[in-house]
Chain A
Amino acid sequence: MLEDLLEKYPQQEDQLIEILLDYQSQKQHRYISEEEIARIAAHLGVSESKVYSVVTFYTFFSTEPRGQHIIQVCKDVPCYINGERTMRSVLEKLLGIRVGETTRDKRFTLEQTSCLGHCDGAPAMRIDDKTFTNLDENKIKAIISEYRGAK
């Protein structure tokens, strides 16, 4: 699967972030392993430590397995003053985990994020590549049960 994806990209160093984003989004547990780092480095003809430094610099990437879905609650000021703390505790209760943890069934990881650029719809959160705004308790419950129902 990684090899097929690598084929699509020119063998240029500046494609690294695009490759990592594309690959991680397709991986079930949304992380890039050490062995994959080595394969990507070999493909692009750069050192493993270079690829590793990029993977660890950007918050989107993880070197540890995470849940099938990544839930990120925005924590910056516009969201904070519009009820972010309540939203976070609703999610923690609903999922039975704290920020930074993954549910035991490996379905969800709960994280905090910097501003999502949707402050006019605060409080906001992101699940994988979708942003949800104007959250309240009921809305969060509906969203999570939808994700639980779907595979």
Chain B
Amino acid sequence: MLEKKLITARFDKINPLSIDDYVEHGGYEALSFALGMERVDIIEEVKKSQLRGRGGAAFPTHIKMMGVAKEEDEPRYVVCNADEGEPGNFKDRYLMENDPHQLIEGMIITAYAVRANKGFIYIRGEYDKPHSVLQWAIDEARKKGYLGKNILDSGFNFDIEIRSGAGSYVCGEEFALIESLEGKPGRTRVKPPFPTQEGLFQKPTMLSNVETFANLPHIVDMGGEKFAEIGTESSKGTKIISLSGNVKKPGIYEIPFGVPIRDVIEQLGEGTPADRKVKMVQLGGASGPIIPEYMTDLTIDFDRFENFDSKTGAGAVIVMDDRFDVFDILLRISEFFEHESCGKCTPCREGNLQLLKLVEKFVDRQSSEKDLANIESLARVMHQTSLCGLGQSAPTALLSTLQYFRNDFVDRIEHPESQ
């Protein structure tokens, strides 16, 4: 068994629209337990669990919680990042559609621990169904006394409001999201101060990914130490993988950290449709590295993703078989970033435009040695000088293919006429 179902365990057992089903399957027990705990003790359990954020940056969750908890300024906010715009990712959609109360419960526990009374779920505008499922669940939770005033007679007040995105990938970046929640264009702010200090409406804000919050009830329920027994040295717990591309069984799979990428593709995804050879695999999404098949024995692990100097371990695995050409893939990726750049800083705004033009030259078989050198230097400048993660990670796919598929570039330059 490669899979380990912790936060997806209820998926085929409950009707997501029924709060009674959720409660029958152990739902809101962790909340009622947590409300009897000291706030610092909850954060201590999260620390012991070694939970790291599931939205891509893998930042230790307890540090953020502590950051918000110790701020005196009021009100404090809890914000759930449900923007999920990174191409190849769809696990948050499943979490919201199939077990909405798990997310809500995780947000309430977090809010209690950091003394926040107001929460927002920022959900991408394309997610109509999860939006309505969540709204239904929030209304039910309020009726049953899990949200609103004096939750379960604890004296604690907390409520959640859903807000929609309107078609912008960069709004998944934490400060762009906060700007968008304030009703502005989604352009990031300069850090510091961090959201934990001056976030939404300049107030302390605990902003985390859907999957991160979904783990909270389980950490309270199992205890941090027990949770930390799952996974590897550097990465604790489970990860939901969004598997797509050329595989027989695309979909989401929850695994403990440490499973080899190849096993996910071959065993869970059942390999490529026509049993063709896997040529490339992109990890994390459009902003992640592209690796060749022989590297898929690498395990899924936060440190692994960091080795590529990319912060996008949200868990996408995109499989491409040998019918596809590196340049056609890079073209789509470059178009994506050129379109999604918010335009606030020059390295990203101009850099993505130039990168796109350079990739087009390779696609059109008009490339030269000089273009190759230009791609490399431009990509490094963008990586080092862009203001936010979008511009910093936009060249990752390109840089990784330059490393692992260098021959394809050289061939294209030297023999433009051949395949």
Interface residues of A (CB under 8 A from B): 12-18, 20-21, 50, 53-54, 57-61, 75-78, 80-82, 113-122, 126, 129-131
Judge if B393 is at the interface, Cβ distance under 8 Å. no
Q: Which residues of A contact B242 (CB under 8 A)?
A: 119-120
Task: Provide the bound-state CA to CA distance between A90 and B90, in Å.
Answer: 26
Task: Report whether B182 and A59 are in contact in the complex, using a CB–CB cutoff of 8 Å.
Answer: no
Residue B70 CB within 8 A of the other chain:
no
Residue B168, interface by CB 8 Å: yes
Q: Does B291 contact A (CB under 8 A)?
A: no
- In the complex, the number of residue pairs spanning A and B with C-beta atoms less than 8 Å apart equals 130
Which residue on A lies nearest to B86, using beta carbons? A115
Q: Are B332 and A80 in contact (CB under 8 A)?
A: yes
Residues of A near B398 (CB, < 8 A) are: none
Contact of B182 among A13, A61, A114 (CB under 8 A): A13
- Residue contact A21 to B251, C-beta cutoff 8 Å: no
Residues of A within 8 A of B119 (CB): none
**Given A17-B164, A119-B242, are A130 and B128 neighbors across the interface (CB < 8 Å)?**
yes
In the complex formed, the residue of A with least CB distance to B328 is A80
Q: Which residue of B lies closest to A115 (CB)?
A: B87
> Cβ of B244 < 8 Å from any Cβ of A?
yes
The answer to whether residues A120 and B127 also contact, given A16-B183, A17-B183, A77-B88 and a CB cut-off of 8 A, is no
CB-based nearest B residue for A14: B183
Q: Shortest Cβ distance from B51 into chain A, in angstroms?
A: 24
A13-B183, A60-B125 in contact; A77/B286 too (CB < 8 A)?
A: yes
User: Known contacts being A75-B335, A76-B332, is A21 close to B166, with CB within 8 Å?
Assistant: yes
Among A53, A77, A120, A129, which residue has its beta carbon within 8 angstroms of that of B128?
A129
A-B contact pairs, 29 of them (CB 8 A): A17-B180, A18-B163, A53-B185, A54-B183, A54-B185, A57-B185, A58-B166, A59-B167, A59-B168, A75-B335, A76-B88, A77-B286, A77-B320, A77-B329, A77-B332, A77-B333, A78-B250, A81-B245, A81-B329, A82-B246, A113-B167, A114-B85, A114-B169, A114-B336, A115-B86, A115-B87, A118-B90, A119-B242, A119-B244
Among the listed B124, B185, B250, which residue makes an inter-chain contact with A120, where contact means beta carbons less than 8 Å apart? B250
Please name 11 further chain A to chain B contacts, defined as beta carbons within 8 Å, in addition to the given A117-B84, A119-B90, sorted by A numbering: A20-B166, A53-B185, A78-B244, A78-B250, A113-B126, A115-B88, A119-B88, A119-B250, A120-B244, A122-B250, A130-B128
B61 interface residue, CB < 8 Å from A?
no
Take A18-B164, A58-B166 as given contacts and tell me if A117 and B89 are in contact as well, using a CB distance cutoff of 8 Å: yes
